[in-house]
Amino acid sequence: MSCQRCQEKMVDALASGEGAVHVELAAHLRVCAECRKVHEAQVHLFGAIDSGVRAMVDVSVPPSLLPGLRARVAEDGVARQPWSFTWGVATVAVVAVLAVSVGLLMRGPGNSRRVVDRSPIVAREVGGAHSVTPRQPQVVAGAPIHARAQHEVARAPQGGATAPEVLVLPAERAAFIRFVTDLPEERDVAVAFTRPAADAKDEAVEIALLQIDELKLKPLESSNRE
Amino acid sequence: MRELVLIQPGRTLEGPTARESDRARADREFEERLAESGPLAFRVAYGVLRNAADAEDVAQEALLKAYRNFGRLREPERFRGWLVRIAFRLALDRWRSAKRREKRETEWNGPEQSVTGQTAEELAVSSEFEARLERAMEELPEKFRLVLLLAAIHGYTLDEVSEMLGIPMGTVKSRLFFARKQLAEKLR
């Protein structure tokens, strides 16, 4: 066995924690002083490593470890309970505030005016004749009207049972009033706006190809400049 | 001490009483594990941090996490393995952040002056070796380092380490072999 091979084997044996030296290795160590010296140094080194690592972990545990942990567990429990409790209270509070706010918005004195102001103008077909007149907005004091109710008010039959209705956006209200007021004579135009379009079927349109009879094609003449 | 709960005849324990009873049982089981697992977590953390106060804090943090997850960790081996890993990981995190802080401070304050008043040559050699060993340990792969630390803790056999980490015995031995060999190469 060569010295290099012997030293490799001895390191492997010591690293694996084998106490007994292999027979072949022991035979080499008996005759090689150099390797014996290296072996002693390696044994010393591995011994130092083992005791050093043991010293790193074999320390006395502080007596405050477990009491400290119990205190942290208790704190954790206490801290967690209010957390969920706080969230519960916060949720209830938010719901309550929302409910009160919605209620106040619906019942507030200024609100009814605002809601009715946004009510649509109704164009109505009265009797057999087509007449389009702007309707004055009705004020329903104190009545909670939300979007759906507003829609239902606009659709509710008033006067003529089959009167057609036109929903107008609040921003377009003034313009629509002007339009309806300015066109009392031209009923047909107004009716065209307020009546649904007749069910007319579209007919296919054919476009004939353009044909030019007297068309003569002449070859291009090259100019002198080219 | 055995806990007694009064139940009406023909009825089973349910609702808040059952939950409280389960909780009390879990707390008792956790308390039983603490006697062994608390010191184990502390030693693993100390092996990384080399500072008792920091190791205690880390061990408590790891045990608190274990307490919160105790429902899933009732089996003793699973509990120990989980705790050891979490303590090791938390300790490594703390060690790294401490190193970063130390590096920043060194950059600001200049090189640190050694003020150790060592008189005995042997102590100086020992301290020097200890410092080199620590540095060599820090350079080891984490999985080697954890096995090395656990195997060095007094009272734990390689079988127990294998069970604790949930890895085969052969893997424990090979990790230990490579860890020791790498340390010897660095310290030679």
The distance in angstroms from the start CA to the end CA of chain A is 99
Q: Are B38 and B58 in contact (CB under 8 A)?
A: no
Residue A53 near chain B (CB below 8 Å): yes
| pLDDT higher than 50, residue A141 | no
What is d(CA B183, CA B167) in angstroms, rounded to the nearest whole number? 22
Task: Give residue A193's pLDDT.
Answer: 67
Domain boundaries, chain A: 3-56, 111-194
φ/ψ bin of A17: left (φ > 0), alpha (ψ from -120 to 50), beta (otherwise): left
Q: Does A14 touch chain B (CB under 8 A)?
A: yes
What secondary structure letter does DSSP report for A168? -
pLDDT at A151 over 50: no
Q: Which residue of A has its CA nearest to B148?
A: A53
Which of B130, B131, B142, B62 is CA-nearest to residue B96?
A: B142
ipTM score: 0.76
pLDDT tens, residue by residue, A46-96:
999 999 999 888 888 999 999 998 888 888 765 554 445 566 677 888 888
Q: What 3-state DSSP class applies to B174?
A: helix
Contacts of A11 (CB under 8 A, 6+ apart): A42, B181, B184
Q: What is the token pair recorded at A11?
A: 């390191």
Q: If residue B162 lies in a helix (H) or strand (E), which one and from where to where?
A: helix B158-165
Give chain A's largest Cα–Cα span: 133
- What angle (nearest 5°) sits at the alpha carbon of residue B129, between those of residues B128 and B130? 90
Pick the residue with more confidence: A13 or A207?
Answer: A13
Q: Residue B45 — pLDDT band, cuts 50, 70, 90?
A: very high
Residue A130 has pLDDT above 50, yes or no: no
Give the C-alpha separation, A2 to A80, whole Å. Answer: 68
- Give which of A57, A73, A80 to mutate to test B binding, by max B Cβ within 10 Å: A57
- Position B167 scores a pLDDT of 93
Q: What percent of chain A has pLDDT over 90?
A: 4
**Percentage of chain A exceeding pLDDT 70:** 57
Spell out which residues of chain A touch residue B28, defining contact as CB-CB under 8 Å.
none
Domains of chain B, start order? 21-107 (1.10.1740.10), 122-188 (1.10.10.10)
Q: What is the pLDDT of residues B22-40, one digit of tens each?
A: 777 777 888 888 888 899 9
